[in-house]
Amino acid sequence: MPVISAPEDFHVDDLFVDLRPSLGAPLYLKCEAFNFAGSIKLKAAAAMVADAEDRGALRPGSVLVESSSGNLGVALSLIAAGKGYRFLCVTDTRCNPATRRMMEAMGAEVHTVTEPAPAGGFLGARLAHVRWLCERDDRYLWLNQYRNEYNWIAHHRTTAPSIAKQFPDLDVLFVGAGTTGTLMGCARYFKESGRPVTVVAVDSVGSVIFDAPAGPRMIPGLGAGVRPPLLDRSFVDDVVHVPEIEAVRVSHRLAARGLLFGGSTGTVLAGALGWLADHRGDEPTVAVAIAPDLGERYLDNVYLTSWVNEVYGPHALELDTTARG
């Protein structure tokens, strides 16, 4: 039984769900939400804060500031509360209400951007506000998850080795793309290992990460309105773009089996199901997808039927094109 003194010291890193009974697909899901922050973002947050401390960038009176759609904000709120730092999260109107309340409960200040930037959307507007804060007050320290190499280093050190240990015969790995920290950490690890693992990035329709056309996105988490500087396309073997409604449908299918995962996880799984059906068929395949979070923070959107019907149409949940098994 582990005994910890800081909340960021606990993380379940070896839990996988066999999705064949639930989705009829040869796919294992690596669950990353079993920690006090409730998402995979705790790994990157802890690594970036530790680096800032080691470099002496965090000084008495410093105020951590970060742009986040929610999960990293919760993770940094947790770490800041435990270490006695002030933290300001710059988010936007898509951030789940429960997520905002969680950050505030741990003492963080939350600034919500209400208008997207003409170029870059809500992310562009959030980044502009962070830069404005840092320019006017040198107490603000921006960890900058979009450029900070410790974002991907955290997963190179932990997430990818955990998958490699559990699945020595891994064929395909599906990773959602947002800041691309998880994607780059895992992709770099497997490419450097020399193992013949196909790394597939899963992105949302409307995201510009892989140079697709920009469009509206309503589910926080995956996707971006600005191409992340961390991304190195040479490490990625393939890319799948998933319409949000498909992510919602997969999430509901799993919830009906007692597995309540977040919208980001639904996106990754929808992409994985389509890719496996198109590329592997009945061929024996060992495939793993990474689940960034659980579903409690999505009860006001992804799992709220009235919200789904309003955003995607009154029959959005009736035509489940993701049901392939």
Of 188, 200, 177, whose CA–CA distance to 287 is shortest? 200
Which residue has better confidence, 281 or 87? 87
pLDDT over threshold 70, residue 320: no
Q: Which fold has domain 7-31+158-312?
A: Rossmann fold (3.40.50)
> Taking the mean position of all CA atoms in its chain, how far away is CA 96?
14
Give CA–CA dist 15/38, Å, rounded. 14
pLDDT given at position 222: 87
Q: pLDDT tens for residues 120-169?
A: 889 899 999 999 999 999 999 999 999 999 999 999 999 999 999 999 99
Q: What SS3 state is found at 283?
A: coil
| Residue 262, both tokens | 């977040």
The answer to whether the beta carbons of residues 199 and 190 sit under 8 Å apart is yes
CA distances from 106 to 10, 12, 179, 195 (A): 17, 22, 24, 42
The answer to whether the beta carbons of residues 62 and 312 sit under 8 Å apart is no
The secondary structure of 153-211, three-state, reads: HHHHHCHHHHHHHHCCCCCEEEEECCCCHHHHHHHHHHHHHCCCCEEEEEEECCCCCCC
264 is catalytic: yes
193 is catalytic: no
Q: What SS3 state is found at 149?
A: coil
Q: Kindly indicate the confidence band of residue 324, based on its pLDDT and cuts at 50, 70 and 90.
A: very low
Q: Kindly indicate the confidence band of residue 14, based on its pLDDT and cuts at 50, 70 and 90.
A: very high
pLDDT given at position 177: 97
The answer to whether the beta carbons of residues 285 and 28 sit under 8 Å apart is no
Give CA–CA dist 305/296, Å, rounded. 15
pLDDT given at position 1: 66
pLDDT given at position 226: 87
Residues pairing with 141 in the sheet: 64
| Residue 95, both tokens | 């951030």
Q: pLDDT tens for residues 244-282?
A: 999 999 999 999 999 999 999 999 999 999 999 999 887
The reported pTM is: 0.93
Q: Picking from 76-80, 241-245, 295-299, which range would have the lowest pLDDT averaged per residue?
A: 295-299
pLDDT given at position 171: 97
pLDDT over threshold 60, residue 323: no
Compute the mean pLDDT over every residue in the chain, rounded to the nearest whole number.
93
Say yes or no: domain 41-142 is CATH 3.40.50.1100.
Answer: yes
Inter-helix orientation angle 159-166/181-193, to 10°: 50
| Residue 54, both tokens | 């080691």
Residue recorded with tokens 């992409």: 271
Q: Kindly indicate the confidence band of residue 41, based on its pLDDT and cuts at 50, 70 and 90.
A: very high
Q: Where in the chain is the domain with CATH 3.40.50.1100?
A: 7-31+158-312, 41-142
Q: Kindly indicate the confidence band of residue 172, based on its pLDDT and cuts at 50, 70 and 90.
A: very high
Residue count of the chain, please give it: 325
Instruction: Report percent pLDDT > 90 for the chain.
Output: 84
| Residue 144, both tokens | 């900058």
Which residue among the candidates 22, 30, 39, 41 is catalytic per the annotation? 41
Which residue among the candidates 67, 77, 251, 264 is catalytic per the annotation? 264
Q: pLDDT tens for residues 97-119?
A: 889 999 999 999 999 999 989 88
Residues pairing with 239 in the sheet: 201
Of 168, 180, 200, whose CA–CA distance to 269 is shortest? 200
pLDDT given at position 325: 41
Q: pLDDT tens for residues 201-228?
A: 999 999 999 999 999 898 888 898 889 9
Residues pairing with 86 in the sheet: 63
Q: What SS3 state is found at 242?
A: strand
pLDDT over threshold 50, residue 95: yes
Of 160, 202, 155, whose CA–CA distance to 178 is shortest? 202
> Taking the mean position of all CA atoms in its chain, how far away is CA 64?
20
Residue recorded with tokens 């962070």: 130
Helix/strand/coil percentages in the chain, nearest 5: 40, 15, 40
